[in-house]
Amino acid sequence: MDSKVDSHKMTTLRTFQNEIDEHSREIAKQRAIQAAVEKEKENKKPPASKGKSKDDTLDPTTPDTSTTTNLLEIEEKFITALLSNTSADHERARDMIAALITQHHGEYVFRIGLQPPPAKLFAGELADDAEGWTSSPRTEQELEVIKQGITATVEEVGGKTSVLFETRTPHPRISLLLRLPPPNVSLTPEVRCAVVGNVDSGKSTTLGVLTRGALDDGRGRARVGLFRHKHEIETGRTSSVGMEILGFGPSGAPILPNTANSTDPDVIRREKLGWEEISIQAAKIVSFIDLAGHERYLKTTLYGLTSGAPSCVILMVGANAGLIGMSKEHLAIALALSVPVVVCITKIDMTPPNVLAETVKQVVKILKSPGCRKTPVFVKSVETAVELATAFGKDRLCPIFLVSNVTGEGLDFVRTFLNLLPSSEADREKFAVNQPLEFSVTEVWSVPYVGTVVNGIINNGSVKTGDAVLIGPDSNGNYQSTVVKSMQRKRANVTSAEAGQCVSLALKRVRRAAVRKGMVLVNKSDAPPKAVRQFEGQVLILYHNTTLQKNYQAMLHCGAVRQTVRIIGMDAVCLRTGDRATVQFEFISHPEFIKEGMKLLFREGKTKGLGVITRLIPPP
């Protein structure tokens, strides 16, 4: 009976999530259309023709190269031109590969030879027959000729080629990474990953091994360099939102300190690479938001997940303990926010085989449950890691890595996967460059000889040093005028940044006390955006032990906003676990900048609910 009730709750949650996702997409689409109309008016140019010839579709210089069929045809055209002996065809091949890499945000995975069906590859059922395989078969000699030709052509346009995967039997095939180094630090692609999991699941240790290069000794040597506070070193537990970065060079190799093979903990801690050094060398940066696993720090973890706009959530599960405690809580939050999930099962070197098998069985069962509806895929080869990196987010796949930080088993698959993840700023559904500036403040500091510095994510638009902006709203809903004095990205100086990027801005003539988390920076204008005190949302109560009524108060998380709200109205007398309703909320302390379509989470003790903002209520 209980399992049927749980199944019904999970199905209700999934249906509700699909509805709020659809609502958010619709609002984003309307904003994009509005921005395009305004831009069209400014330019006073007629809209481009919607008609498109067949040749246009197959030309890599046009933006419509997203479908697999188009890409396969373009790749075949490129190989034909590459193998031709005429100089005109060689130039054409060079232009095609440059366009292909540029359109895919500076990197492209080029596959040569027969390619297995993803479903069979992910299930580990590759057979000797080629039934269902795609692309053109190639001999070993052809593979080598094409590989050398691509390498030379990519080098001509200033890029690097590296071999991701190569096999000669039974069907010769190869996957190459083609990557253009970014022109400057401000254009380096970034992938944001939130790392969550229960206490002692191996979060900080895994990050220490990935970013420092040295394996762990089984007694916590790898994680010491990540701790920021004295009590964290003493207890061995993360209590704050830590940030670590892993850089990958143009060749795809991770950027690690020269002391990566050292076994001395003091050397590991002292000799780590600075963020500036990594940023200057990197062609891609993976930022890890290391979140606390203890229940006491749940609000910190929640804030990191809602304000950090991660591209994926890496859920750490200790093989010896299984999916317990806060791990389930973190998984539920990731699902509520519709963030793709990756599972890392750690400590496989010290776990008995029968216990490991039980943990794997439990993880698979939870991922396949009606509330998750994920397809678990065990990553046991580099080829699987390569194919999953670009497909898992949109296809409801959940990669599962079995790793040991002591022996290093499975870590190469994790690094390959991270190296190929699409950059966060490439998600144009979430971040729009062509809209007015909107920068969410997630951290505030006062830096000696610099002044007030704010850190956050650019949700829309772009910003440059010297730009006049407004910051707010304050406790009265007003905005203060200021100027962007200087800017840093991953502690390296930059002069510009655009939607999707995480940057720090130094502001002129702004007191530290006047800025708080949840504020926004917008373009200076005569009509700044309105701050609201009351709003309406569609909500689903995930858990409440009694009934939830009018005047109930809870902590609301909505993007970078974190404030107590009160329920001032609802279309039901009371709400219980599993109920859906239209609810009117009011901020207790001060008005905030929020928008229709934003997802919200509210909690108080064990009470939890999620929803979407459907209407802003103007002040009377």
Range 257-271 average pLDDT: 62
The answer to whether 29 and 35 have CB atoms below 8 angstroms apart is no
**What is the pLDDT at residue 261?**
59
Reported as half-sphere exposure (CB side, CA atoms, 13 A), residue 17 has a value of 21
Q: Which residue has the higher pLDDT, 70 or 95?
A: 95
- Please, which pLDDT band fits residue 242 given cuts at 50, 70 and 90? low
Distance between terminal CA atoms of the chain?
A: 49
The string of pLDDT tens digits covering residues 354-413 is 999 999 999 999 999 987 889 999 999 999 999 999 787 777 899 999 999 999 999 999
> Going from the N-terminus, what domains does the chain have, and what CATH number goes with each?
2-26+531-617 (2.40.30.10), 54-179 (no CATH), 185-426 (3.40.50.300), 438-523 (2.40.30.10)
pLDDT at 34: 67
Task: Please write the tens of the pLDDT for every residue from 434-447.
Answer: 899 999 999 999 99
- pLDDT band with cut points at 50, 70 and 90 for residue 416: very high
Once rounded to an integer, what is the mean pLDDT over residues 480-508?
93
Given a cut of 50, whether residue 280 has pLDDT beyond it is: yes
Q: What is the mean pLDDT of the chain?
A: 84
CA atoms within 13 A on the CB side of 60: 23
Give the phi and the psi of residue 460 in degrees, each rounded to 5.
-140, 155
Measure the CA–CA gap between 504 and 457, rounded to whole angstroms.
9
**Percentage with pLDDT > 70 across the chain:** 83
Dist. CA 476–CA 343, nearest whole Å: 44
pLDDT at residue 337 above 90?
A: no
Tell me the C-alpha to C-alpha distance, in Å, between residue 415 and each of 151, 206, 297, 516.
23, 11, 29, 36
pLDDT beyond 90 at 519: yes
Tell me the C-alpha distance between 269 and 204, whole Å. Answer: 14
Of the candidate ranges 107-116, 268-277, 544-553, 561-570, the one whose mean pLDDT is the lowest = 268-277
Q: What is the pLDDT of residues 460-475, one digit of tens each?
A: 999 999 999 999 999 9
In contact, 380 and 124? CB cutoff 8 Å: yes
**From the centroid of its chain, how far is CA 553?**
31
**Average pLDDT of the residues in 34-45:** 59
Rg (the chain; Cα; Å) = 25
The band of 58, judged by pLDDT with boundaries at 50, 70 and 90, is: very low
Quick check: 262 pLDDT over 70? Answer: no
- Checking if the pLDDT of 218 tops 70, the result is no
**Residue 346: per-residue pLDDT:** 95
Looking at this protein, which amino acid is placed at residue 562?
R
**Is the bond preceding residue 170 a cis peptide, omega within 30 degrees?**
yes
Q: What is the pLDDT of residue 153?
A: 93
95-109, 235-249, 605-619: least confident range: 235-249
Structure tokens belonging to residue 603: 């909690």
Pairing of strands 341-346, 312-318: parallel
Q: What is the pLDDT of residues 530-557, one digit of tens each?
A: 999 999 999 999 888 888 999 999 999 9
Can you give the pLDDT at residue 64?
41
Per residue in 118-137, pLDDT (tens digit) is: 888 888 877 777 778 888 88
- The pLDDT of residue 97 is above 70: yes
For 477-486, what is each residue's pLDDT tens digit?
999 999 999 9
**Local confidence band at 3 (pLDDT 50, 70, 90 cut-offs):** very low
Q: Is the pLDDT of residue 63 over 50?
A: no
- In the predicted structure, residue 16 carries a pLDDT above the cut 90: no
Cross-sheet strand order for the sheet of 107-113:
107-113, 173-179, 160-167
Ramachandran bin of 108, using left for φ above 0, alpha for ψ from -120 to 50, beta for the remaining angles: beta
Q: What is the mean pLDDT of residues 101-112?
A: 91
* pLDDT score recorded for residue 523: 94
pLDDT at position 298 is: 72
Query: Over 50: is that where the pLDDT of 50 sits?
Result: no
- Tell me what the mean pLDDT of segment 260-265 comes to: 60
